Amino acid sequence: MNRLLLNHYYQDTPDNLLMQFSDLAATKTNIIDLSIGDPDIVTNHAIIQQAFLDAKAGHTHYTAANGSPELVEAIIDYYDRTYDISFQSNQIFASVGALHGMYLALQVLLNPGDEVILHAPYFSPYKEQVIAAGGVPVIVPTYEKDGFELKLDALEQAITSNTKALIINSPNNPTGAIFSKETLQGIAKLAIKHDLYILADEVYEAFCYNEPFHPMVQFAPKNTLTFGSFSKSFAMTGWRLGYVLAPDYIIEAIGLLNENVAYSAPSISQRAGIYALTHAETLMAETKDLFAKRITFINEQVGKIPFLSMIETKGSMYAFVNIRKTGLDSLAFAKKLLQEQHVLVIPGIAFGEAGEYYIRIAATQSLSLLAEAFEKIAQLTVE
């Protein structure tokens, strides 16, 4: 999709209004920003220190195109010791963040007209990336009454002879849902039966609050592409490092395409990534504990405000809050909250129509700022 097409696309959809909303937000100062999925904390000091020591020692060059052998080894070791899943080095590609990996994967997998199923509410770049790769996004809604769990019958009904892939995101942005093991197994069965790829976005792996994380790949190894990231688990968004785990022929194609795009992920970030993965148990637990406290706090606060409600956040760093009682749609609510109380949240419509009567609150601010934000939200005048 070229730029002209992109503009055209925005004109006819609520995205146009969303752009107006983000323009409005950009003009505001002194707001409490609960919109962004970027942990407020600085990357753990030990990771930074190791990366800079490694840079000083000469790790300032291009690395092997698919990632340095040491990083690839660290990823293999992490999956082996954490999930008892074995990967070979030719099944791994170090990307410039998960989003870059997803983009490359869709570019190599899709032919024009191939359908890709997304469960809604969805992380909005998926839809744009599918279109940019010549594909057709097919949306399957999920519902609050089901805990935003993807229903297998709805998924199967959406599969046609043109379906090439499914994008699965659990723990989910924006709903905070974690799909059960049975659902993941069911998705895997369907993918195997219909010969589909599963693009499993697992960037919130570390954020499962009361249940274990189940990597999709264990249920359908030949069909699954896993997208992992250092951004959230290790508070490393700005380092731009992630990875794709996939069958070797896909990794080969991704690597070939990327040689014309980014050559390799940043060397210093890869060094940081090696340290992070080697100490993943401690480091991920620190991030998770911090966010667990904030998520619990947000869940409690929402419960105290009569015009808001939500189901418990099981995973991710977000609360997906139902605003239906206010009589406002998500854009109108978010605009009012911004203008009257100077609190910025994401209108649910940004995640597709399924999010029309929701807002997403990111737990990416301190407890004291969150408390301040909720005092303001409570003062909002709604019918």
Binding site for ligand PLP (CB under 6 A): 37, 97-99, 123, 169, 173, 201, 203, 229, 231, 237, 242
The neighbouring-strand residues paired with 168 are 200
Least CB distance to ligand PLP at residue 81 (A): 22
Nearer to ligand PLP, 99 or 328 (CB): 99
Instruction: Report the nearest approach of ligand PLP to the CB of residue 43 (Å).
Output: 13
Residue position matching structure tokens 């015009």: 307
Q: How far is the CB of 28 from ligand PLP (least distance, A)?
A: 22
Is residue 171 a contact partner of residue 316, using CB atoms and an 8 Å limit? yes
Compute the least distance from the CB of residue 149 to ligand PLP, in Å.
Answer: 17
Check: CB of residue 373 under 8 Å from CB of residue 343: yes
> Is the CB of 99 or the CB of 302 nearer to ligand PLP?
99
CA distances from 51 to 54, 276, 280 (A): 5, 10, 15
CA dist., res. 190 & res. 220, Å (int): 10
Beta carbon nearer to ligand PLP, 103 or 326: 103
CB of 295 to ligand PLP, least distance (A): 15
Please give the Cα distance from 175 to 351 (Å, whole number).
10
State which residue, 190 or 203, has the beta carbon closest to ligand PLP: 203
Shortest Cβ 229–ligand PLP spacing (Å): 3
Closest distance to ligand PLP from the beta carbon of 244 (Å): 11
Tell me how far apart the alpha carbons of residues 160 and 150 are, in angstroms, rounded to a whole number.
18
* Neighbour-count burial of 132, counting CB atoms closer than 10 A to its CB (0-12 exposed, 13-18 middle, 19+ buried): middle
By C-beta, is 123 or 320 nearer to ligand PLP?
Answer: 123
> Between 198 and 328, whose beta carbon lies closer to ligand PLP?
198
CA dist 353 and 121 (Å) reads 7
Residue sitting closest to ligand PLP (CB): 97
The pair of structure tokens assigned to 334 is 């978010």
Cα–Cα distance measured from residue 160 to residue 266, given in angstroms and rounded to the nearest whole number: 40
Tell me whether residue 53 or residue 261 sits nearer to ligand PLP (CB atom).
261
DSSP state of 216: G
Q: How far is the CB of 231 from ligand PLP (least distance, A)?
A: 3
Q: Which is nearer to ligand PLP, 95 or 326 (CB)?
A: 95
* Contact (Cβ atoms closer than 8 angstroms) between residue 373 and residue 359: no
Residues in CB range of 69: below 8 A, 6 or more apart: 89
61 Rama sector, left if φ>0, alpha if ψ -120 to 50, beta otherwise? beta
E-only strand ranges, 128-222: 136-141, 163-169, 197-201
How near is the Cβ of 155 to ligand PLP at its closest, in Å? 18
Of 111, 115, 95, 94, nearest in space to 103 by CA:
95
* CB 378, min distance to ligand PLP, A: 27
* Residue 216: other Cβ atoms inside 10 A: 25
Which residue, 229 or 341, is less far from ligand PLP as judged by CB? 229
Specify the residue, 200 or 328, whose C-beta has the smaller distance to ligand PLP. Answer: 200
